Chain A
């Protein structure tokens, strides 16, 4: 295995950080595939012990507003485009990626900012807060979550941290290139620039792992109703009762 960090010589001949070693991309890809495959196999082995799936029929409750669903899918699309355009030149696909990449990055940043504002002022922020008791949830089948499960909260905050790093470093790197709004300045020391590239690269790798995990769980049969709720907005009352504690979460009935 190669090294984690790549180095280069700056204009003075000093060795500075160039960025992450993209050999790690393959390491991450293989590791995620192995872990998810292992999870799928274990779950398949345990499948017969599981109780029946709750029915999607009957009364429906609202889980995600149309705004939030739109936010999710715009975010998802932006991250997808960012990952594809960012990784393409690394794996040797020759496309004009940079403009698409920074435009998607701008969209992602904007959507994330709007989401933060909306979550703080118009939504129940507490529903997403991880409290110490949440950590007991995976080990106690009697303890049911409110709107979001421990795993969902974990995924949300994981992606928040990683995407936040990608966005912050991305915006800093964005300032270093020519755009229709400004010309590049070369004002950042090459060692700092390299550090930004390293953080951008490392967080990208983590993001790829998290996104892959997220998609995997979204497609798992027992979680598929959450995915449906992200498309259509509702879950059935039966699904809610099976997975959530109604004392902690009392959603409106869906139209």
Chain B
């Protein structure tokens, strides 16, 4: 018997498929046991802290078919294994969907963006520090939340959609994809599922241990951006404690179509306020037909936080969210 050492990498069966069929077959065979490894920027944190113990890993970075940015008939398709740096620097994304390249440029640090992938940024696990600490909380399959308690340190936690767990969506690219009305391509041995970005993420009321609809055996392989929102007016802003290498306290992504001086259509989403990127449909409909101006922004900003329920220490997210939405509309 091999003794368990806490000072080295744990024993993990590492699979390194080089083509799609192999990867999907492995995912199907290993199911729940098959930890999907891309850039590793979420994974290695878990391992380093000895708080997750996957027995098998499927490393996806050798599959070229799931990398790169290609133009399609109705938009572009981005392989989920494309690094964030490649997305930041891609001329096609920069020219048509700069909302995404801007959002990607604000993720973590340059080193992390160089290896971190878009798929990894979207699928990363909750960053609640209690959960990351390895406590057996609701999200870890237990029956208690340490963050939402009378003395819990929940400055970074959710304003909306709390259901026992109060963790937030940590991704910067997720709200951008919701605003761009992206479609997630989820592959498995049984074929492909196409899921709207907005429906890809799930909150604790529905699934308290997973943050996405991805099931064992499934892999997020591509993200499609439709032409509908190409070249719209975009706004992205992330407020974090640190200017690099930090998670958002609140971020906002907006795609706004303006014609004849008035807002024709808009999609706005905020991150880090709910377990999923929160789409602000009430704000979107309130600004339709109005000028993209300071006045409009001031009128509707308070709608953004409608229904917010502050915990002990996250009250500041309410005005911050309103202000960021105001800035997004003001442009």
Contact = CB atoms under 8 A, between A and B. Distances in A.
Contacts, number: 50
Interface in B115-163: 135-136, 141-146, 148-150, 152, 162-163
B206 A94 contact: yes
Interface stretch (A4-12, A205-213, A227-235): A4-12
A197 B141 CA distance: 13
Contacts of A10: 136
Given A98-B205, A190-B144, A178 B162 contact: yes
B142 A177 contact: no
Given A178-B162, A185-B149, A11 B143 contact: no
Give chain B's interface residue range (CB within 8 Å of chain A): 20 to 34
A140 interface: no
Contact of A177 (B135, B152, B164, B213): B164
A23 to B, nearest CB: 14
Contacts of A184: 145, 148-149
B64 interface: no
Given A98-B163, A98-B164, A11 B202 contact: no
Interface in B276-322: none
Give chain A's interface residue range (CB within 8 Å of chain B): 20 to 34
Contact of A186 (B142, B146, B208): B146
B207 interface: yes
Contacts of B143: 18-19, 193-194, 197
A98 B141 CA distance: 15
Given A8-B142, A96-B205, A197-B143, A183 B136 contact: no
Contacts of B148: 178, 184
A215 interface: no
B198 to A, nearest CB: 16
A142 interface: no
15 contacts: A8-B136, A8-B141, A18-B136, A18-B141, A18-B143, A19-B143, A94-B202, A96-B163, A176-B144, A178-B148, A178-B164, A184-B145, A184-B149, A186-B145, A197-B143
5 smallest beta-carbon distances between A and B, as pairs: A186-B149, A96-B205, A8-B136, A94-B207, A94-B206
